[in-house]
Amino acid sequence: MRALLLASAMLTVIGGEALAADAVGSEPAVHDWSGIYVGGHFGYGFGNTDATYNLPNTPTIRGTQDYDTDGFLGGVQIGYNYQVNAAVLGIEADISGADIKGHSDEVNAGGGDVYDTKVDWFGTIRARAGYAFDRTLIYGTGGLAFGGVENQYLDGPANSYSEKNTKFGWTIGAGLEQAITDHWSANAEYRYVDLRDQTITYGPNSATTFDNSFSTVRIGMNYKF
């Protein structure tokens, strides 16, 4: 929530400066969003992981654990926009380093066993479609997501199990971008990312499945060539 409020405040200031600059000229030109752009971003990721053991609940072992994950992220992006009247269509790819992690309460009451989840990087390749109000662009986005996910069952040094893989899934979201000059723009964006399930197998008929999904809020800057 703090990251989203910061992004909104920054875009409000940016938008005010851009409108003031337009007001200086007698007939400001309509901004052209078409072209290749590159940029960087930082933000915050947060979510809730469901870890489900494949055996039914018992008084001491809970079959499902729900726990929060969160952490910061930052990275770079590259994209291309094509504008037809006020409609703006495009494609964007990005990659982010991340420290999105969390751990459960005790799985086995009193035993100290816990589940851990960490996303240390992720990327996306997405379509974008939006509507431009001159220098302000409102858009939706969605496509392929992938990332490095590690899930663990920690039961002391001798009985710890983990799975660390590159997972593939999907993402969807929306954003607001404000052109500052003909080349520079700033944006704020929300996205939901689902990197699909991952299972740790301990033995025959014994496994835990983790639901790897989270949300992100981020702000960024782009330079259009």
Domains of the chain are: 2-224 (2.40.160.20)
User: pLDDT tens digits, residue range 96-118?
Assistant: 999 999 989 877 666 668 899 99
Under the banding of pLDDT at 50, 70 and 90, the label for residue 132 is very high
CA–CA distance, 95 with 121 (Å, rounded to integer): 8
- SS3 (DSSP) at 90: strand
Lowest mean pLDDT among 18-27, 68-77, 213-222: 18-27
Q: For residue 192, how many other CB atoms are within 10 A of its CB?
A: 15
Helix (H) or strand (E) holding 6: helix 2-24
User: What pLDDT is attached to residue 14?
Assistant: 43
The chain-wide mean pLDDT, for the chain, equals 85
- Is the separation of the CB atoms in 115 and 105 below 8 Å? no
Helix (H) or strand (E) holding 78: strand 64-84
Strand 114-133 versus strand 184-203 pairing type: unpaired
Strand 136-154 versus strand 114-133 pairing type: antiparallel
User: What pLDDT is attached to residue 88?
Assistant: 98
Q: What's phi and psi for 133, nearest 5 deg?
A: -105, 75
- The one-letter code for the residue type at 167 is K
Residue 26 vs residues 37, 176, 197: alpha-carbon distances, Å: 29, 26, 57
User: What pLDDT is attached to residue 35?
Assistant: 97
Q: What's phi and psi for 104, nearest 5 deg?
A: -85, 170
- The one-letter code for the residue type at 143 is G
